[in-house]
A = this chain, B = another copy of it.
Amino acid sequence: MPTPDKTSVDAIVSAARDLLETESLAGLTMQAVARRVGVRAPSLYKRVEGRDHLVRLVAEATLTELASRLDAATTAAKVLDGYRTFSHEYPAAFQLCMGQGSSPSVAGHSYWEAASAAVIRISGELAGAEHALDAARTLTAWAVGFITIELNSGFNLGGDVDRAWKFGRTKIIESITLTRGRY
């Protein structure tokens, strides 16, 4: 005799994302997720393959949201700022995506592609099609590195972190723009 469903994949992923931000990755346990969605831990295995799979779904949902955020940006500065703003809203999820992943990268290829599209588009405009990929990697590397260090309180030598962001953003965009037609 069928039982009415008490939860769903969406509810589970949503609860997991909440827990990740409020309790850290270590606090994202199957039991905690189960409690949030009103079910016992073993029931989660009807919807997700296990904790690793659930973490992957969280990463992919995060990248999808990041992609749609970045797609709306019209200038390089706005794309870079989009990264940073997003990382401040979802610091743990952002680092999950970028950080020491589970084995084969924590999210599927297509999710990365979607999140990269905006940077590549902008990079092509700045540096020309020939150097679009190199330029995109330079921009992304700087933003990801800056944010990673910032989120881990790595900028602890004083000074104004916002000023450092603007300084770097200006320098990076400037140097990429100078690429057009040479290098």
Residues of A that sit less than 8 Å from B by CB:
25, 92, 95-96, 98-101, 104-106, 109, 112-113, 116, 120, 131, 133-135, 137-138, 140-146, 148-149, 151-159, 163-164, 167-168, 170-172, 174-176, 178-179, 183
Q: Is the CB of B98 within 8 A of A134?
A: no
Which B residues are CB-close (under 8 A) to A164? 133-134, 137-138
Taking the full assembly, how many copies of this chain does it contain? 2
Which B residues are CB-close (under 8 A) to A105? 152-154, 156
Distance A100 CA – B176 CA, assembled complex (angstroms): 29
Which B residues are CB-close (under 8 A) to A25? 100
Q: Is the CB of B113 within 8 A of A152?
A: no
CB < 8 Å: which of B100, B116, B155, B176 contacts A95?
A: B100
CB < 8 Å: which of B98, B148, B175 contacts A174?
A: B175
Shortest CB–CB separation between residue A17 and chain B, in angstroms? 15
A116-B172 contact in complex given A144-B148, A145-B144, A149-B141, C-beta closer than 8 Å:
no
A133-B149 contact in complex given A138-B171, A183-B167, C-beta closer than 8 Å:
no
27 A-B residue pairs with CB within 8 Å: A25-B100, A95-B99, A95-B100, A96-B100, A98-B148, A99-B99, A101-B152, A105-B153, A105-B154, A105-B156, A113-B157, A131-B167, A133-B157, A135-B167, A137-B168, A138-B142, A138-B168, A141-B142, A141-B145, A141-B149, A141-B168, A142-B142, A142-B172, A145-B146, A148-B148, A167-B183, A174-B178
